[in-house]
């Protein structure tokens, strides 16, 4: 008698669609090492930075419907968004806070990677991508800040662009390239707008995608090598996806509440003739540089020291190439990169606090 | 690993948090200050609430303005400045596209008062009340050069008396001002800003106690009953009650907070008590270099109140006990007799009050030998016709016969009808007969025609 084995039941409907078609479902491999996906290991910081980026981009697209990047109309159009456009003030607030949190989450994510040794080979290249992304995030925030065209932002723009002139040899040329004129005006505003919504955003999105893709290529989020006492365990992508969903919903809700309760300020309209006459505080993520400018020459404070700091960050994988301690928080054996990072952070935080207290 | 129940609980609670956040956003967007002001407005005026952004696109600028979304119920400033034509920004400046007070009020000219002398050239003068070949139409420049603005005569007298300057001719004004083309012989070419820090003993105290204490158009008033007023053009043309309370419907102005205009209205019908916010409120003591307040004023309230019969109250409020005045000087309002050139200047920088205060009893009543001078209004009397046009209480037409002052100003509110002169009040519209001296029992010599001589018989007893 011939035994006929029934063919395996085909899966229909949503399950099949999810498996074959869903982009999000297939972002993750079917199984993920549990140690790398633990909340107390990553705190979800990279994911939160991506979430903040997505919210910033979506709200940014909405803002482009009303924002007019001309000297005459920039500030009035923001006032219009804040006042008249349905939920305009909220969308701008959400854009602002998501962007600020993007900087915060990206910085904390970097700290997590340093203090857990996640930058090590094979993830060293992805660390470099990450450092590049951090620079993009800062420039995103800075260009966005200047688009407000209020007193504070025009001051930051003036100082920021004048720093360009301090670069020996190419400074003047670079200034004209970036500002588009011999002084700030419509061309500068339009260029910063173009960089903000296109020039930085397209590479930013590409780099985020590449950064995420590399996680999978590099064998998932960093995790400790398995031992006999601690064998490798796995979670399914469904579990990870569930965690991500819950975190994203809760974080979005928190961001919405923050945005509703603390709308960003819009100062008095910028006046190009009096810009720079009185000192204003730089945006918070550049306060440290503003403070250094008080003590050092612009070339050192504005360029050489910040670039050296960035270079040091980028080179961290070189100081710690192999050996135990990967995937562990604060492993003593990897003390050098941690000290470098903590030292840099301390300097930036102290300078920022001094500048903020002024 | 989460159990299924915990997963469901986590999922549900995170969704609930998200819903709560969205509800918060909706609630916040429904409770912006402008919406709260509108609710307050509709509640006060007992109208059904219709809360929405109020936009005006004035013809002059073509730029949308949202100011009335908060300032609902604000009276139109004047029939000559309709909001559909001027909007708010033309005069006030500021940012009409914002509904947030701090953003909207950024760049306001003169704060709440675009008529302040610091900004009046821009807000009132630009293209409207300045820049004409006919100096009589350049009201802002006229006021800036007027004695009400410069206080030049007072400053010169005080400084000369105390030996701070060697001439009685004014050198200083409250602010510096020039005149390229003085039209009268006494007109000055220039005044320098008052030298409060000159080092001379009187200058600093004079500046602090007198000049900055409310004694001219650009000084902020004392913040107390009877003194509330605005500055610059609005010091006269925007009426303040003696108690300084707002009587209009703008919900952003607290009706129980003193220090506000009566209504958001410019007027040429200026009642006596508006002049009294500066004049006759006390005395200067040169010895103490200070201003001594009157102590005989009844408690401030609406000028016509139940506390005291209207006439009696007016008698008390108008002049100081030492003042001498006739019936017409407290029964009429100041602007019935004192002309606009006397008050707002004639475009010259005059050195003293006597130069500019020329309306006397005989201007309207004549003398024993002469009747007052009367002219027939013709098309050339544009100033008088314009003045009548902006005052709703009297009319003036070509062909009317009216009194003319010795300087050629028409007193458009007087009219000769059937050989008798009648004055129509610019403030109330009431009419009064103007009786000539000629033919009366008056025994005044013709050479002595200043009011002090008339007061010897006609002084009114308080």
**Each residue's pLDDT tens digit, B167-189:** 999 999 999 999 988 888 889 99
Q: What is the predicted pLDDT for the residue at A54?
A: 97
Distance in Å, alpha carbon of B103 to nearest chain A alpha carbon = 7
Query: Is pLDDT above 70 for A1?
Result: no
Distance in Å, alpha carbon of A84 to nearest chain B alpha carbon = 7
Q: What is the predicted pLDDT for the residue at B2?
A: 61
Give ∠ CA B75-B389-B56 in degrees, rounded to 5.
35
What own/partner pairs with CB < 8 Å and gap ≥ 24 does B380-386 have?
A: B381/B410, B383/B136, B383/B137, B383/B409, B383/B410, B384/B409, B384/B410, B384/B412, B385/B412
Mean residue pLDDT across chain B:
90
Contact A79 B97 (CB under 8 A): yes
**Each residue's pLDDT tens digit, B399-452:** 999 999 988 999 999 999 998 999 999 999 999 999 999 999 888 888 888 888
Contact B107 A268 (CB under 8 A): yes
> B434, B421 in Cβ contact below 8 A?
yes
A256 in contact with B, Cβ within 8 Å: yes
Distance in Å, alpha carbon of B71 to nearest chain A alpha carbon = 15
Per-residue 3-state assignment (H helix, E strand, C coil) for chain A: CCCCCCCCCCCCHHHHHHHHHCCCHHHCCCEEEHHHHCHHHHCCHHHHHHHHHHHHHHHHHHHHCCCCCCCCCHHHHHHHHHHCCCCHHHHHHHHHHHHHHHHHHHHHHHHHHHHHCCCCCCCHHHHHHHHHHHHHHHHHHHHHHHHCCEHHHHHHHHHHHHHHHCCCCCHHHHHHHHHCCCCCCHHHHHHHHHHHHHHCHHHHHHHHHHHHHHHHHCCCCCCCCCCCCCCCCEEEHHHHHHHHHHHHHHHHHHHHHHHHHCCCCCCCECCCCCCCCCCCCCCHHHHHHHHHHHHCCHHHHHHHHHHHHHHHHHCHHHHCCCCCCCCCCCCHHHHHHHHHHHHHHHHHHHHHHHHHHC
Q: What is the predicted pLDDT for the residue at A132?
A: 97
User: In B184-196, which positions are buried (b, 16+ CB within 10 angstroms) versus exposed (e)?
Assistant: eeebbeebeebbe
Enumerate residues 90 to 109 of chain A having a beta carbon within 8 A of any beta carbon in chain B.
Answer: 90
Nearest chain A alpha carbon to B32: A83
Q: Which residues of chain B approach chain A closer than 8 Å at the C-beta?
A: 1-2, 7, 10-11, 14-15, 17-18, 20-22, 24-25, 28-29, 34, 53, 66, 95, 97-100, 103-104, 106-107
Nearest chain B alpha carbon to A81: B98
Query: Is pLDDT above 70 for B54?
Result: yes
What Å distances lie between residue A75 and A68, A159, B269, CA to CA?
8, 20, 41
Percent of all residues in chain A with a pLDDT value above 70, rounded to a whole number: 98
Which residue of B18, B22, B99 is in closest CB contact with A83?
A: B99
Nearest one of A166, A153, A214, A191 to A70, comparing CA atoms: A191
A269 in contact with B, Cβ within 8 Å: yes
Which residue of A86, A87, A256 is in closest CB contact with B21?
A: A256
> B196, B207 in Cβ contact below 8 A?
yes
List of chain A residues whose C-beta atoms are within 8 Å of the C-beta of residue B34: 83
d(CA B88, CA B77): 10
Sign of CA dihedral A112, A117, A120, A122: negative
d(CA A246, CA A139): 30
For an interface test with A, the pick among B10, B57, B103, B107 (most A C-beta atoms closer than 10 Å) comes out as B103
**Each residue's pLDDT tens digit, A38-77:** 888 899 999 999 999 999 999 999 999 999 999 999 988 9
Nearest chain B alpha carbon to A79: B98
Angle at which helix A88-116 crosses helix A45-64, to 10 degrees, equals 150
Contact A249 B28 (CB under 8 A): no
- What is the pTM assigned to this prediction? 0.79
Query: Is pLDDT above 80 for A325?
Result: no
For an interface test with B, the pick among A51, A78, A253 (most B C-beta atoms closer than 10 Å) comes out as A253
List of chain A residues whose C-beta atoms are within 8 Å of the C-beta of residue B99: 82-84
A262 in contact with B, Cβ within 8 Å: no
At residue B308 the predicted structure's pLDDT band, cuts being 50, 70 and 90, is low
Radius of gyration in angstroms for the set of CA atoms belonging to chain A, rounded to a whole number:
24
List of chain B residues whose C-beta atoms are within 8 Å of the C-beta of residue A32: none
Q: What is the predicted pLDDT for the residue at B304?
A: 47
Helix or strand (DSSP H, E) at B284: strand B282-285
Distance in Å, alpha carbon of B61 to nearest chain A alpha carbon = 15
d(CA B172, CA B316): 35
Distance in Å, alpha carbon of B25 to nearest chain A alpha carbon = 6
Contact B103 A266 (CB under 8 A): yes
Q: What is the predicted pLDDT for the residue at B310?
A: 62
Domain chopping of chain B, boundaries: 2-45, 135-335, 359-458
Contact B100 A242 (CB under 8 A): no
Which residue of B24, B99, B104 is in closest CB contact with A257?
A: B24
CB-based contacts of A148: which residues, under 8 Å, 6+ apart?
A: A74, A75, A78, A266, A267
**Each residue's pLDDT tens digit, A207-241:** 999 999 999 898 888 888 888 888 889 999 889 98
**Each residue's pLDDT tens digit, B138-161:** 999 999 999 999 999 999 999 999
**Each residue's pLDDT tens digit, B276-286:** 999 888 888 88
**Each residue's pLDDT tens digit, A163-181:** 999 999 999 999 999 999 9
């Amino acid at each position: 008698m011939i035994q006929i084995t029934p063919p395996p039941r085909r899966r229909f409907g949503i399950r099949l669609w999810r498996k074959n078609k869903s982009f999000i479902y297939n972002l993750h491999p079917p199984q993920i090492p549990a140690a790398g996906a633990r909340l107390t290991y990553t705190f979800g910081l990279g994911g939160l930075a991506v979430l903040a980026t997505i919210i910033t981009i979506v709200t940014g697209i909405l803002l482009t419907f009303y924002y007019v990047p001309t000297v005459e109309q920039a500030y009035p159009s923001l006032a219009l968004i804040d006042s008249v456009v349905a939920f305009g003030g909220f969308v701008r607030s959400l854009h602002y806070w998501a962007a600020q949190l993007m900087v915060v989450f990206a910085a904390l994510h970097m700290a997590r990677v340093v203090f857990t040794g996640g930058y090590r080979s094979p993830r060293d290249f992805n660390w470099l991508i990450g450092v590049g992304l951090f620079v993009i995030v800062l420039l995103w925030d800075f260009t966005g800040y200047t688009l407000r065209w209020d007193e504070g932002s025009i001051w930051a723009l003036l100082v920021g662009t004048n720093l360009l002139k301090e670069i020996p040899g190419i400074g003047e040329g670079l200034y004209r390239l970036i500002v588009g004129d011999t002084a700030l005006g419509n061309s500068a505003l339009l260029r910063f707008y173009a960089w903000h919504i296109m020039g930085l955003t397209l590479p930013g999105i590409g780099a985020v995608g590449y950064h995420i893709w590399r996680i999978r290529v590099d064998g998932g989020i960093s995790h400790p090598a398995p031992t006999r006492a601690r064998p490798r365990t796995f979670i399914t992508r469904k579990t990870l996806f569930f965690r991500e969903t819950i975190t994203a919903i809760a974080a979005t809700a928190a961001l919405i509440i923050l945005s509703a309760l603390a709308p960003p300020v819009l100062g008095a309209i910028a006046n190009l003739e009096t810009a720079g006459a009185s000192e204003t505080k730089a945006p918070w993520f550049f306060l440290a540089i503003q403070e250094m400018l008080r003590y050092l020459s612009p070339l050192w404070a504005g360029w050489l020291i910040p670039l050296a700091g960035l270079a040091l960050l980028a080179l961290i994988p070189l100081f710690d190439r192999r050996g135990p301690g990967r995937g562990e928080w604060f492993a003593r054996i990897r003390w050098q990169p941690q000290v470098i990072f903590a030292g840099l952070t301390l300097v930036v935080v102290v300078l920022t606090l001094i500048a903020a207290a002024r | 690993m989460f159990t299924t129940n915990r997963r469901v609980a986590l999922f549900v609670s995170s969704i609930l948090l998200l819903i709560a956040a969205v509800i918060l956003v909706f609630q916040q967007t429904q409770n912006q200050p402008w919406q709260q002001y509108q609710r307050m407005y509709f509640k006060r005026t007992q109208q059904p609430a219709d809360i929405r952004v109020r936009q005006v696109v004035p013809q002059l600028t073509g730029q949308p303005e949202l100011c009335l979304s908060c300032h609902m119920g604000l009276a139109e400033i004047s029939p000559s400045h309709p909001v559909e034509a001027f909007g708010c920004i033309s005069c006030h400046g500021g940012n009409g596209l914002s509904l947030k007070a701090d953003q909207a009020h950024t760049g306001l000219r003169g704060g709440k008062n675009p008529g302040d002398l610091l900004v009046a050239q821009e807000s009132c003068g630009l293209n409207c009340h300045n820049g004409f070949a006919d100096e009589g139409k350049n009201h802002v420049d006229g006021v800036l050069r007027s004695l009400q603005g410069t206080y030049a005569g007072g400053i010169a007298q005080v400084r000369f008396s105390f030996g701070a300057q060697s001439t009685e001719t004014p050198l200083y004004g409250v602010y510096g001002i020039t005149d390229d083309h003085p039209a009268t012989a006494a007109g000055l070419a220039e005044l320098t800003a008052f030298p409060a820090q000159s080092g001379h003993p009187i200058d600093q105290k004079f500046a602090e106690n007198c000049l900055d204490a409310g004694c001219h158009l650009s000084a902020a008033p004392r913040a107390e009953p009877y003194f509330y007023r605005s500055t610059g053009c609005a010091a006269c043309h925007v009426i303040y009650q003696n108690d300084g309370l707002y009587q209009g419907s703008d919900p952003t102005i607290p009706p129980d907070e003193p220090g506000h205009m009566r209504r958001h209205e410019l007027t040429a019908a200026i009642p006596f008590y508006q002049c009294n916010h500066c004049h006759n409120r006390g005395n200067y003591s040169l010895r103490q270099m200070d201003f001594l307040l009157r102590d005989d004023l009844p408690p401030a309230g609406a000028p016509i109140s139940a506390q005291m019969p209207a006439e009696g109250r007016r008698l008390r409020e108008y002049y100081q006990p030492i003042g001498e005045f006739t019936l017409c000087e407290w029964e009429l309002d100041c602007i019935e007799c004192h002309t606009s050139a006397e008050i707002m200047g004639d475009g010259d920088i005059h050195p003293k009050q006597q130069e500019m205060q020329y309306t006397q009893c005989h201007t309207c009543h004549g003398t024993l030998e002469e009747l007052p001078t009367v002219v027939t209004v013709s098309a050339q009397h544009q100033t008088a016709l314009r003045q009548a046009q902006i005052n709703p209480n009297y009319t003036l037409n070509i062909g009317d016969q009216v009194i003319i002052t010795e300087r050629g100003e028409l007193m458009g509110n007087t009219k000769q009808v059937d050989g008798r002169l009648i004055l129509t009040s610019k403030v109330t519209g009431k009419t009064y007969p103007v009786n000539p001296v000629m033919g009366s029992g008056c025994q005044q010599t013709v050479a002595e025609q200043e009011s002090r001589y008339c007061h010897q018989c006609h002084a009114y007893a308080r």
